[in-house]
Structure 1
Amino acid sequence: MTAALHGLLTGLTLIIAIGSQNVFVLRQGLRREHVAAVVAVCLGSDVVLISAGAGGLGALVRAVPQVVDLARWAGAAFLLGYAVLAARRALRGTGQALDPAESGARTGLWPVVLTALALTWLNPHVYLDTVLLLGSVAATHGAQSWLFAAGAIGGSAIWFVALGLGARRLSGLLRSPWSWRVLDGLVAATMVLVAAMLLA
């Protein structure tokens, strides 16, 4: 169980850092829009990536750095595009609705799922953190590497469920269209910052 606890703490340490994926999960949680689907996509992706890292895929990532380079450029382009959309929402004040019964434009399930997939799989930090780093640390546990991986997956589950469902507690602060414009402005700034970091 020491390996599992180590995996849990290491996984939480890596995932809690604010990034484009976390911002998207938070935004969907605040909107109460397809939250379960977004959490399932993020958690399912982490299960695949952490398992791959524990299974030795990290060595392949080290051997073929072009994989990370390709993800870096594609991820930066996607993030900049998403930043433009968020900035446009912030400038126009598109009037978000937190209560499903209220009026307001709702996004379809598939665009939300595809965005969550893109923010996850086009982010090279995902490969560096979950596959390479967690995979390398898991390897130090020898026969218990899968317990470490299970702990890291547990950390992802705790974080994404807490972020997606816990965001509802902040909904009272975001009743006015102005507060959503501020949030979308922060989302746009975060996306640009992460894209710049990828390109640098």
Structure 2
Amino acid sequence: MDVTTTYLLAALAGLMTGAGLIIAIGPQNVYVIRQGVAGVYVLPVIAVCVVSDIILISAGTAGLGSVVSAHPTAVTVAKYLGGGYLMILAVLAARRAMRPAAGHERSEPGRAVGLWTALGTAAALTWLNPHTYLDAVLTLGSIANSHGGARWSFTLGACIASLIWFLMLGFGAKRMAPLFASARAWRVLDTAIAVVMASLGAVLVIGA
């Protein structure tokens, strides 16, 4: 097998493995869906998620995964912090569900939080989620290094999987915006978000 084929196969393996780990119901994906449906700050939020994944996956390939696995206490603390943060977001979503926006705010509920708040929330949902480190850093980093000299090709494939997924998720959700022209539709979505966030937060805290 020549070098080019080895690198291509490693990149394909990274693409498939990255997709398998990234495509899951999680707080980050739920938030991207909500912003996509709202149709505001979609690309900036996607950029935060993708850039964060690139940094974390690359760090795992560079060896940060061994540091994370050697300090389980840090992962436990992250679980409590992440679980608590998700619980707060669940409460906020539940409040939105009980008090849906009116008038122009109803059609653009995502804009009310402001750009920097939206970006900060996306970053927090990524960096405060311990599963991010277990998946992107530890798991992908370990698998990448098993490819030896082709480890960065594997990493590139995993990063491309993140880019493709979040673009599809955000702009796919944006196409559903006409379905959310009423306050009732947003109430249903925010109720679902509250349930997902609360459930994920409880799992993190209980499993810490």
Cα RMSD of the aligned pairs, angstroms, is 1.5
Match of 1:172 in 2: 178
The match for 1:153 is 159
Q: 1:105 to 1:17 in 2, by over 3 A?
A: closer
What's the TM-score, normalizing by structure 1?
A: 0.95
In the alignment, does 2:71 pair up with 1:64?
yes
Letter matched to residue 126 of structure 1: T
Q: Match of 1:196, as an amino acid?
A: A
Please give the alpha-carbon distance, in whole angstroms, between the structure 2 residues aligned to 1:126 and 1:188.
20
How many angstroms does 1:166 deviate by? 1.3
Cα contact 1:28–1:34 (8 A) shared by 2? yes
**Which residue pairs with 1:133 in the alignment?**
139
Q: 2:14 aligns with which of 7, 18, 29?
A: 7
Q: 1:67 to 1:151 in 2, by over 3 A?
A: same
**Corresponding residue of 2:3:** none
CA distances 1:126-182 after superposition (whole Å, capped 9, x unpaired): 000000000111111011000000000000000011111111211122111101000
Note the residue ranges of structure 1 that are not aligned, 5 or more in a row. Answer: none
Counterpart of 2:30 in structure 1 is: 23
- Equivalent AA in structure 2 for residue 115 of structure 1: T
CA contact (8 A) 2:39 2:177 kept: no
1:197 correspondence with 2:203:
yes
Structure 1's 104 and 164: CA in aligned 2 closer, same or farther, altered over 3 A?
A: closer
**Which aligned pairs between 1:46-125 and structure 2 lie closer than 5 A?**
46-95=53-102, 97-98=106-107, 106-125=112-131
SS in 2 for 1:33: coil
Match among 16, 37, 41 for residue 34 of structure 1: 41
Tell me the residue number matched to 1:182: 188
Structure-2 change in CA distance of 1:104 and 1:13 (3 Å): closer
Q: Secondary structure at the match of 1:117?
A: helix
AA of the residue aligned to 1:44:
V
Moved over 3 A (4+): 95-98
Give unpaired runs (5+ residues) of structure 2.
1-7
TM-score, length of structure 2 as denominator length: 0.91
Once the two structures are superposed, residues 102-129 of structure 1 have per-residue CA deviations (whole angstroms, 9 ceiling, x without a partner) of x996221111111111100000000000
Structure 2 Cα separation of the partners of residues 106 and 122 of structure 1 = 23
